[in-house]
Every structure is written in structure tokens, then in C-alpha cells.
Amino acid sequence: MYPSSFLKKGFTLLELLVVIAVIGIFAAIAVAALNGAREDAHVAATIGQIKEIERAVFRYRLDTGQYPPQCDNVCTVDPFNTPPTGVQGWKGPYLLYDFIWNAHQWRGHISFSVQDVDLDGRLDATITLDEDRPQTPYTDNSARIPVDVMEKFDRALDDGDLTTGRVRESLISAGALLYATSI
């Protein structure tokens, strides 16, 4: 016959602790992978917003022969959905949502302006992912985009270097991203 210790049913405390530790390790790996996937989804969604605004700027300029008026953190008139006074050829609306309250995935405002970013003598339409929330003072700074995320934007939209090309970290405010396009 077998000793009574062989007939015991169940697991020892040590065996249970090992199983719990292994499950904990797998859970930590799964959570890390999900967080990375969530960040990639935020980047993809924001790139979609940038491209949609870029198409709206293109259509506006094609219809009117000029760029839309600048719209920053505190603008009160939506340049893509409100017919501007004295501009011929406007056939908008050019966006399906209100641009004034537009925010990127890190809750900061998306602004639009026209400037010569690359100093080539031609104006560039710039779309800025600001670190200030929509309709808040410029000192809000609560929606900073991490640098590693900015680098993901740069790899997806440009040359992968935040100091050159069309995608750059804003020189005016840390945590903001500037995307320039020649339309």
C-alpha cells in the first residue's frame, strides 16, 4: 500500500504561489502589450484627424484660392464650417465637426495657422497638436504629448527626425507637435 501522504488531495501552498506568480507575470505582459496597442491606436486616430484637416485646407484653398483664417486655442469662428466674409468661392463646410472644440487624443487643442516653417519663401499650412486643452488659456499645458509619441508621428508622417522635415516638436511650447504641409 501507499503511505497516507500519497493519498492527500490538493496543492501545497508553494505550488499555489508559483501558479499565482506565473499568472501575474502573464498579466503584466498582457497589460504592457495592451497599453502599447492603445497608444498606437491614439497615434493612428490623431494622424487621421491631421489628414482630415489637411484635406479640408486643400479643398478650402482649391475653392477660394486662399488659406482658411488661422484658428488657434481661443478662436471663436470655425474657419472650416463658417462662411468667411468677403471670400469668394467658399463651398463649405469642409469638416464634419466643429473645429473650435477639436482635440487630439491627449486632450490638447488642434490649431491651424499659415507660416513659412521651412524658410523657403512659401507659406506652409501648419497643423499644431497643442498642449493646451480647447478654449483654455495658453498656460494650461495639461495635454503634453510625450516625446516618444511625437517620434511615432514623425515616423508615420515624415522622416523620423523631430528636428527636420515637416513634423517637428514645437519650439514655442514643449509637449506640442507641429505638422507643416505645402498645399
Q: How many angstroms separate the Cα of 166 from the Cα of each of 8, 98, 100, 117, 178? A: 70, 25, 24, 8, 8
- The Cα 110–Cα 115 span in angstroms is 16
Res 140 pLDDT > 90: no
| 19 pLDDT tier (thresholds 50, 70, 90) | very high
Residue 21 has pLDDT above 90, yes or no: yes
Q: What average pLDDT does this structure show over 2-16? A: 73
What's the grid cell of residue 143?
495635454
Read off the pLDDT band of 79 (50, 70, 90). Answer: confident
pLDDT tens string 35-52? 778 888 988 998 888 889
- In this prediction, residue 165 carries a pLDDT of 77
Give phi and psi for 125, each to the nearest 5.
-75, 130
Contacts of 18 (CB under 8 A, 6+ apart): none
